[in-house]
Structure 1
Amino acid sequence: MIKNQNFGQAIEAAKQGKRIAREGWNGQNMFAYVVPAASYPVVTDAAKLHFGENTLVPYRAYWALKTAQNDIATWSPSGSDSLAEDWVILD
């Protein structure tokens, strides 16, 4: 675990596949990570209409957050997150 990182350092670690968190999140077992770009089987009706049945849908890389409720959500860092210097690289 590496503590007291700025967001730029945390981003670089996440791009390398590492989990990152704010110092205050750790008691709730929350962390953020980057889901790399990939293609996934079409699931939704909207995607089936656009991409076709039984196809792969291309997804761009995106941020994901393991929440305090123990599920995963997409995540967009806040302005406070981006300026914080209390980021932790968990692994």
Structure 2
Amino acid sequence: MPSYRKKPVEIEASQWFKLGDHPSVEPYADQLGVVKGIGPYGWITTLEGGHIVSPGDWIIRGIKGELYPCKPDIFAATYDESPSTAMSFSAALAIVKAGGRVARAGWNGKGMFIYLNKGSFPHELLGFEAGATPVAGHPSTIDGVSLGLFECGDRGTAIRLPNINMRSASGAIVTGWLASQTDTLAEDWEVV
């Protein structure tokens, strides 16, 4: 018989000990809906039907968003905690300046992120060819901002300084996003 290896997949999981630990675990009840007094068990509805949840079980959100319980020994043999990818605002800002997108794990909206909208200047201003892109870290600046954060515009283009934009949960773009004090002090920034 051929053998197979499980694909590496990141999941979300939390350990359950009592009612109230996970919003999807309900009191254990019989088929008539009568709550059973058989100990500290819970009940979770899965794609395969309902399952009893025992104290110490892990509640896993699978790759399709489905929830299911897993015994602690099976969980320990199958999963390792993912290394944290969280970072400070200054580290996140460096990624944005390099052309990446970042978001806070603490933001409520799904799909939100911030990114750099490069500035523009007339190419003849500093002797560039039309359409050229200054390299990151270029020593010249406009209003103190490195030319690496600009694109060369056509002759006569107005100087437009770079700014940070945000994609909101609805998909709308917020031009000129400003970080709150909490955003600047947070340590939960992640690359998206």
Do Structure 1 and Structure 2 share a fold, with TM-score over 0.5?
A: yes
Q: How does 1:1-91 map to 2 (within 5 A)?
A: 3-25=85-107, 28-39=110-121, 56-74=157-175, 75-90=177-192
* Unaligned runs of at least 5 residues, structure 1: 40-54
Unaligned runs of 5+ in 2: 1-83, 122-155
Distance in 2 (alpha carbons) for counterparts of 1:79 and 1:25? 14
Percent identity over paired residues: 34
Residue pair 1:25, 1:31 contacting (<8 A) in 2 also: no
- From the superposition, tell whether residues 84 and 30 of structure 1 become closer, same or farther in structure 2 (CA, over 3 Å): same
- State the secondary structure of the residue aligned to 2:103: strand
Per the alignment, do residues 27 and 69 of structure 1 end up closer, same or farther by CA in structure 2, a change over 3 Å counting? Answer: closer
TM value normalised by structure 1: 0.73
Runs of 4+ in 1 over 4 A off after TM superposition: none
Q: Deviations over 1:30-61 (max 9, x none)?
A: 0001111115xxxxxxxxxxxxxxx5322101
Aligned to 1:28, the other structure's residue is in SS state coil
Highest Rg: 1 or 2? 2
Q: Give the aligned CA root-mean-square deviation in angstroms.
A: 2.0
Task: Give the number of the structure whose residues are more often helix, by fraction.
Answer: 1
SS at match of 1:33: strand
1:11 partner SS: helix
How many residues get paired?
Answer: 75
